[in-house]
Chain A
């Protein structure tokens, strides 16, 4: 289910469609491709109306989460499929097709694999073949549906970097769908955040992280805690103490303050906005996450450099160094 919205994709950009499952991001991608049909609204490619065009004539490249390679064809035949499918008058010659397939195999760094079959390849290799197959037809826009969703963590990271490289080299306008915020923020020129069929925000990774348009966007982009706060004189107060957070215009009185784990700092209880006792702490990759239980029993997760250790049961105070307040 999608609600009405307008989304502009700029030529040559890498746009990430980010949203939880069921947010409509895959539906949007499939509508752009012509695989699903909107009840109303239009799809424009550079100004040409493509809404009525069947999928075959939209000149899109689509990469599926589960690769959707043709199992009975060799790697080379898979990549050449789109070229061979063209009308005779538009089809390149045999030698030309072979050359293009060779170039694409070089691009995806699988040069020696032309005669293999998909069943002989790993997941990451299959997805690269699927990408080459989509690029072979020189699409106006490349659409990737959770392209790394079926791969394990290490391969995912490698492919992410590699996709960025390919994009920088080819300048291919690309839209990709993901539910992984790290992936979207690392890879995209701009991110479009969708939730429940609504377009919540479009912006660069910096914009959506520094100035999230709504609590939904903020929550989806990472962990946060929500605190009762008071907006007074343009400042946001927690527990009667002023915080560095400025209240947006029009927000006066009781409100909610959203704070990221790294916007909390351990301080002496006397100058703290929040107090509590340490319940547990975990270290990972040079950082630590400390769970602090507040007097009312609620948990606050604090993120800190892996320096001083916090033993369970230790009373601590927390200062709020930043946060987000949304109007309405």
Chain B
């Protein structure tokens, strides 16, 4: 006879799949070395200033303004990228047209392009004498060297994330569900809003979170188009580089730690919304 223990805590549930010890150890080691250790070092460096010191750095008007620009513009850009990305994914998945494969491949280009190249290309396009910049200048809009330029660059690099996260889910939409909605008398618009879109919300949120995170951390493609005017178009990562070149390592680490904190809270919030929406839309 075998006695069954009373719901004993098990670190590892019995399974026929081998290799748990090896893979778990490997995963933990890699995560520690590549992600956790550098972040810990960052926090350790910043802690040299103490909480007061970090607070002091955050209250510096130039730093505060750079943080506001970084997070504010990232948010706006991620929102825009999510909307555009959704439309692009929709068109690429739902319709067949000549050149679809080419467009589909082009979506990944911002992933592959060195960010500095993208930045220079964008800057020359949107500069007041550039192809698009000249047209915008006619209607009185200046894109380059303003937050609008930062926004454009961030949408550019965030778009692939938004597209690639929703694309597989759009492909999975069951045609019969849409037909069922139509036979019940729903218009196309109502079918879209009440039947097709709700199940896609979690994926759209994931894409949004990724685009946002990428935007906050982006450096290379932005600095060329941003103009980097303090208080106007200076982003926090650039400020970190400036601090580093002034040998103010503690100050750089402090800004980085603040960014880390805000990013962490934002992603946590997005993840909570996502968990809620998954439950809400029946993906338990």
Chain A interface residues (CB < 8 Å from chain B): 33-35, 55-62, 64, 66, 68-72, 81-82, 85-86, 117-119, 130, 133-134, 136-137
- How far in angstroms is the closest Cβ of chain A from B177? 5
From B186, B199, B280, B284, A85 is in contact (CB under 8 Å) with B186
* A81-B184 Cα distance, complex, nearest whole Å: 7
B246: CB under 8 A from chain A?
Answer: no
7 A/B residue pairs, CB under 8 Å, sorted by A = A60-B183, A62-B183, A68-B174, A68-B180, A69-B177, A72-B198, A85-B181
Q: List residues of B (191-220) whose CB comes within 8 Å of A's CBs.
A: 194-195, 198-199
Question: B184 to A117, Cβ gap below 8 A?
Answer: no
Interface size for chain B: under 10, 10 to 19, 20 to 34, or 35 or more residues? Answer: 20 to 34
- How far in angstroms is the closest Cβ of chain A from B170? 15
Nearest A residue to B183 by beta-carbon distance? A62
17 more contacts with CB within 8 A, not counting A55-B182, A61-B183, are A34-B183, A35-B182, A56-B182, A56-B183, A57-B185, A58-B183, A68-B174, A70-B181, A72-B199, A72-B281, A81-B194, A85-B181, A85-B190, A117-B282, A133-B184, A136-B184, A137-B185
In the complex, the number of residue pairs spanning A and B with C-beta atoms less than 8 Å apart equals 72
With a 10 A CB-CB cut-off, give which of A59, A70, A133 has the most chain B CB atoms: A70
Question: B185 to A119, Cβ gap below 8 A?
Answer: no
Residues from chain A with a CB closer than 8 A to the CB of B282 are: 71-72, 117-119
Q: Which 5 A-B pairs have the closest CB atoms?
A: A82-B184, A72-B281, A68-B176, A62-B183, A85-B186
Residues from chain B with a CB closer than 8 A to the CB of A59 are: 185
Residues from chain B with a CB closer than 8 A to the CB of A55 are: 179, 182-183
* A55-B195 Cα distance, complex, nearest whole Å: 17
Question: B284 to A35, Cβ gap below 8 A?
Answer: no
- How far in angstroms is the closest Cβ of chain A from B124? 46
* A56-B174 Cα distance, complex, nearest whole Å: 18
Nearest B residue to A143 by beta-carbon distance? B183
Residues from chain B with a CB closer than 8 A to the CB of A56 are: 182-183, 185-187
* A66-B179 Cα distance, complex, nearest whole Å: 12
Question: A35 to B179, Cβ gap below 8 A?
Answer: yes
* A134-B177 Cα distance, complex, nearest whole Å: 13
- How far in angstroms is the closest Cβ of chain A from B102? 32
With a 10 A CB-CB cut-off, give which of A61, A82, A134, A136 has the most chain B CB atoms: A82
Residues from chain B with a CB closer than 8 A to the CB of A33 are: 183
* A119-B280 Cα distance, complex, nearest whole Å: 12
Question: A66 to B186, Cβ gap below 8 A?
Answer: no
Residues from chain B with a CB closer than 8 A to the CB of A136 are: 184
Nearest B residue to A72 by beta-carbon distance? B281
Question: A119 to B184, Cβ gap below 8 A?
Answer: no
Question: A134 to B280, Cβ gap below 8 A?
Answer: no
Q: List residues of B (3-46) whose CB comes within 8 Å of A's CBs.
A: none
Residues from chain A with a CB closer than 8 A to the CB of B190 are: 85
Nearest A residue to B199 by beta-carbon distance? A72
* A136-B183 Cα distance, complex, nearest whole Å: 12
Given A68-B177, A71-B281, A119-B284, is A81 in contact with B186 using a C-beta cutoff of 8 Å?
Answer: yes
Residues 63-87 of chain B, each 1 if its beta carbon lies under 8 Å from chain A, else 0: 0000000000000000000000000
Question: B199 to A71, Cβ gap below 8 A?
Answer: yes
From A61, A68, A82, B179 is in contact (CB under 8 Å) with A68
* A136-B198 Cα distance, complex, nearest whole Å: 23
Residues from chain B with a CB closer than 8 A to the CB of A64 are: 176, 179-180
Question: B195 to A70, Cβ gap below 8 A?
Answer: yes
Residues 258-284 of chain B, each 1 if its beta carbon lies under 8 Å from chain A, else 0: 000000000000000000000011101
Residues from chain A with a CB closer than 8 A to the CB of B176 are: 64, 66, 68
* A66-B175 Cα distance, complex, nearest whole Å: 11
Residues from chain A with a CB closer than 8 A to the CB of B194 are: 70, 81
* A123-B181 Cα distance, complex, nearest whole Å: 20
Residues from chain B with a CB closer than 8 A to the CB of A119 are: 282, 284
Nearest B residue to A145 by beta-carbon distance? B176
Nearest B residue to A71 by beta-carbon distance? B282
- How far in angstroms is the closest Cβ of chain A from B280? 7
Question: A70 to B177, Cβ gap below 8 A?
Answer: yes
Residues from chain B with a CB closer than 8 A to the CB of A137 are: 184-185
- How far in angstroms is the closest Cβ of chain B from A215? 35
* A130-B177 Cα distance, complex, nearest whole Å: 11
Question: B280 to A72, Cβ gap below 8 A?
Answer: yes
From A66, A71, A85, A117, B185 is in contact (CB under 8 Å) with A85
- How far in angstroms is the closest Cβ of chain B from A173? 15
Question: B183 to A134, Cβ gap below 8 A?
Answer: yes
- How far in angstroms is the closest Cβ of chain A from B131? 44
- How far in angstroms is the closest Cβ of chain B from A149? 13
Nearest B residue to A57 by beta-carbon distance? B185
Given A70-B195, A85-B185, A137-B185, is A62 in contact with B179 using a C-beta cutoff of 8 Å?
Answer: yes
* A62-B185 Cα distance, complex, nearest whole Å: 11
Given A68-B177, A70-B195, A71-B199, is A82 in contact with B185 using a C-beta cutoff of 8 Å?
Answer: yes
- How far in angstroms is the closest Cβ of chain A from B79? 23
With a 10 A CB-CB cut-off, give which of B182, B195, B199 has the most chain A CB atoms: B182
* A211-B199 Cα distance, complex, nearest whole Å: 52
Residues from chain B with a CB closer than 8 A to the CB of A68 are: 174, 176-177, 179-180
Residues from chain B with a CB closer than 8 A to the CB of A66 are: 174, 176
Residues from chain A with a CB closer than 8 A to the CB of B177 are: 68-70
With a 10 A CB-CB cut-off, give which of B183, B186, B194, B280 has the most chain A CB atoms: B183
Residues from chain B with a CB closer than 8 A to the CB of A61 are: 183
Nearest B residue to A63 by beta-carbon distance? B180
Q: List residues of B (150-170) whose CB comes within 8 Å of A's CBs.
A: none
Nearest A residue to B176 by beta-carbon distance? A68
